[in-house]
């Protein structure tokens, strides 16, 4: 006899960070799985990380996923997510934060896609040869940047604008032939921080058919000890501005693990990437995250803002799933 019970609405975590080390434990991802998250986008590198660090991380993460098939599944397609959802696994895709690892070669996008990268943004806080960052001198999108947008669209990868400068993000959204997302970003209208995005950016994202995914980071939520209610408040603001169909969740958890050093090699200066003048205080030392059981309480918090259960389900994953259906090959 077949069950007629409707499947659990999809839960899509748009951005989380484990230590960038091949030996990283996936215990935090297991906690997301236990809370019913069906898909998580896992960062594999930023602009400050060279390929000599990023590629072993991808190899290590892939090996961990392959070694625990009862728990994890590498997401190369929406079919992988559907399989994970039906079998109690969590599907995992990778995301790249910045274009520096692309080495100014658009063909690198397809190579990273083949390794499991399903989402890319082009500038991590600072300007580079491809795009402008949100904590740097304003820089629009040049010819190479437009080629990179085309490469992301052609590879079936989600075009992301988190960490990107305001004008550059608007240029990217104008250049993209596919919906664009902000995988972890919050409204500037609620908290005045340079990483947060303007109403103009939010409207432009929605106009592409995209989604703004709310971060769970303290300084972007405007709360020293952020709660799931803070996340819901920011989600409700975006929903009120452009509609609930353009809101998602990207809590941006950043976990450390004892004994693992993922500091970028060479002359790495945290104060450059997270400048005190931009509102980071002691670099990123003051950053806090929503509690690690946030996914268990998100639906109730979203509904407390006035959303229906169906609208909360869209925010918790339905909207990002819709965009991936359109974008992913």
Residue 1: pLDDT over 50: no
d(CA 171, CA 180): 11
Q: What pLDDT shows up at residue 276? A: 86
Q: What pLDDT shows up at residue 280? A: 83
Rounded mean pLDDT, 100-106: 98
Rounded mean pLDDT, 47-57: 97
pTM of the model: 0.96
d(CA 120, CA 162): 9
β-pairing, 117-121 vs 72-74, is unpaired
Q: What pLDDT shows up at residue 279? A: 80
CA distances from 276 to 4, 49, 127, 196, 292 (A): 55, 21, 17, 16, 27
Rounded mean pLDDT, 109-114: 98
Q: What pLDDT shows up at residue 124? A: 98
In the chain, what percentage of residues exceed pLDDT 90? 93
β-pairing, 72-74 vs 90-97, is parallel
d(CA 118, CA 138): 27
Q: What tokens does 168 get?
A: 């550059």
- Condensed to tens digits (0 to 9), the pLDDT of residues 116-144 reads 999 999 999 999 999 999 999 999 999 99
- Condensed to tens digits (0 to 9), the pLDDT of residues 190-219 reads 999 999 999 999 999 999 999 999 999 999
* pLDDT, mean over the chain: 95
C-alpha torsion 228→202→328→250, nearest 10: -20
pLDDT confidence of 3, banded at 50, 70, 90? Answer: very low
- Condensed to tens digits (0 to 9), the pLDDT of residues 283-306 reads 566 789 999 999 999 999 999 999
pLDDT confidence of 233, banded at 50, 70, 90? Answer: very high
The architecture that CATH gives domain 12-260+269-327 is: Alpha-Beta Barrel (3.20)
Residue 316: pLDDT over 70: yes
Residue ranges of the domains in the chain?
Answer: 12-260+269-327
pLDDT confidence of 5, banded at 50, 70, 90? Answer: low
Residue 308: pLDDT over 60: yes
d(CA 73, CA 70): 8
Residue 87: pLDDT over 70: yes
């Amino acid at each position: 006899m077949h069950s007629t019970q409707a499947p659990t609405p999809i839960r899509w975590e748009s951005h989380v960070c484990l230590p960038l080390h091949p030996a990283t434990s996936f215990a935090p991802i297991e906690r997301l799985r236990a809370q019913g998250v069906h898909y998580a986008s896992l960062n594999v590198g930023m602009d400050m990380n060279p390929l000599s660090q990023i590629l072993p991380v991808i190899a290590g993460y892939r090996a961990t996923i392959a070694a625990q098939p009862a728990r994890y599944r590498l997401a190369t397609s929406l079919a992988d997510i559907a399989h994970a959802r039906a079998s109690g696994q969590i599907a995992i895709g990778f995301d790249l934060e910045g274009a520096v690892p692309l080495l100014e070669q658009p063909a690198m996008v397809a190579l990273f896609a083949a390794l499991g990268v399903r989402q890319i943004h082009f500038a991590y806080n600072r300007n580079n040869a491809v795009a402008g960052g949100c904590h740097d001198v304003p820089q629009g999108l040049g010819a190479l940047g437009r080629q990179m947008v085309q490469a992301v669209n052609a590879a079936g990868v989600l075009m992301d604008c988190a960490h990107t400068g305001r004008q550059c993000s608007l240029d990217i959204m104008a250049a993209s032939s596919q919906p664009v997302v902000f995988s972890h970003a919050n409204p500037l209208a609620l908290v005045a921080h340079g990483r947060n995005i303007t109403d103009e950016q939010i409207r432009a994202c929605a106009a592409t058919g995209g989604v703004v995914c709310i971060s769970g980071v303290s300084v972007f939520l405007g709360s020293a000890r952020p709660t799931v209610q803070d996340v819901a408040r920011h989600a409700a603001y975006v929903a009120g501005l452009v509609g609930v169909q353009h809101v998602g969740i990207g809590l941006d958890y950043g976990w450390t693990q004892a004994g693992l050093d993922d500091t970028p090699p060479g002359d790495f200066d945290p104060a450059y990437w997270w400048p005190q003048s931009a509102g980071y205080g002691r670099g990123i030392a003051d950053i806090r995250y929503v509690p690690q059981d946030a996914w268990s309480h998100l639906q109730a918090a979203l509904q407390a803002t006035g959303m229906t259960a169906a609208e909360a389900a869209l925010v918790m994953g339905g909207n990002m799933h819709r965009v991936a259906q359109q974008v992913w090959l």
